[in-house]
């Protein structure tokens, strides 16, 4: 039995950079990616089945479509992905003029719009942007990021959160019904008080918002997941036995089973010896439910 706030490795995957977990109610399965191994994964918790698909380039996220199938954001653009055939069909290039950039984290809002970020794959230049993609096309919503993560949206649909990973910041924006954002402000940050715990606080990775409006953030090099109240207060840390926790997803029939992707990227040989489950898929139970995964409505 998965324990309350006690992460257990359920799939020893050895992912280089596991990311982007999403829970598909239609499939009753978890979908996620390994960016550096160029793979899309499906995990069926009822029977413990695991299937792997090979993406055309580094996949940053996988997002379900309302009529079936997925959109996968890769280094080379947005792809339509058919899990029955395993085929990836290019929909559009996103940043063809920035060869060192790739797409990173993504999210679908309650109106079925796709949001995602880009980043410099060398993790040096502020060439990353936040995009919105809907029936009106592709639009840059914010920019000047080295590494983007998120976004995620509050239960009332009025606040959008987005991470600047290297700055260790979570930003909040006002989000209106038309999908426009404004009033960018700092929501939370790491190392704000100058105190560094024994393992270090790490970097803000992927965010997600639960049904009560709390923001859960994976911590890369931070050994866990931080949980922030809607007012930005840190209210919980879920500790992990591995240092690189990238993102969580709420799943299961009650949306209280939490799945977490992790990464071996950036770890030394000694680190990997000390963290044999690095890159695994983890799970634990929460006493708060998540929000149901939204589907892309316009494709």
CA distance 119 to 102: 6
Nearest in space to 149 (alpha carbons), one of 167, 174, 122 = 167
CA distance 243 to 226: 13
- What is the Cα 74 distance to its own chain's centre? 14
Residue 208 · residue 163 · CB < 8 Å: no
Residue length of the chain: 299
Nearest in space to 256 (alpha carbons), one of 211, 220, 222, 194 = 211
Catalytic machinery residues = 205
- In three-state secondary structure terms, 15 is coil
- What is the Cα 130 distance to its own chain's centre? 14
Dihedrals φ, ψ of 29, to 5°?
-150, 160
């Amino acid at each position: 039995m998965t324990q309350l706030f006690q992460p257990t490795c359920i799939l020893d995957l050895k992912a280089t950079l596991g990311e982007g977990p999403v829970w598909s109610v239609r499939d009753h399965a978890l979908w996620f990616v390994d960016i550096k191994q160029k793979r899309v994964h499906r995990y069926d918790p009822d029977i413990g089945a695991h299937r792997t698909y090979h993406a055309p380039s580094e996949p940053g996220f996988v997002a379900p479509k309302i009529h079936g199938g997925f959109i996968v954001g890769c280094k080379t653009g947005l792809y339509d992905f058919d899990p029955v055939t395993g085929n990836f069909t290019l929909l559009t290039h996103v940043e063809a003029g920035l060869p060192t950039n790739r797409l990173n984290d993504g999210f679908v809002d309650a109106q079925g719009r796709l949001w995602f970020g880009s980043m410099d794959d060398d993790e040096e230049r502020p060439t990353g942007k936040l995009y919105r993609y809907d029936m009106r096309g592709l639009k840059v919503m914010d920019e000047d990021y080295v590494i983007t993560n998120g976004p995620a949206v509050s239960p009332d649909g009025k606040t959008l959160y987005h991470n600047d990973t290297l700055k260790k910041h979570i930003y909040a924006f006002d989000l209106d019904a038309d999908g426009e954002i404004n009033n960018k402000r700092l929501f939370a940050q790491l190392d704000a008080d100058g105190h560094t715990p024994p393992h270090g606080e790490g970097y803000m990775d992927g965010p997600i918002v639960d049904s009560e409006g709390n923001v859960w953030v994976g911590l890369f090099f931070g050994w866990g997941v931080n949980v922030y109240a809607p007012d930005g207060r840190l209210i919980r840390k879920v500790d992990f036995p591995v240092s690189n926790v990238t993102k969580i997803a709420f799943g299961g029939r009650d949306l209280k089973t939490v799945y977490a992707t992790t990464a071996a990227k950036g770890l030394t040989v000694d680190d990997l010896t000390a963290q044999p489950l690095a890159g695994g898929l983890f799970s634990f139970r929460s006493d708060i439910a998540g929000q149901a995964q939204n589907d892309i409505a316009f494709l």
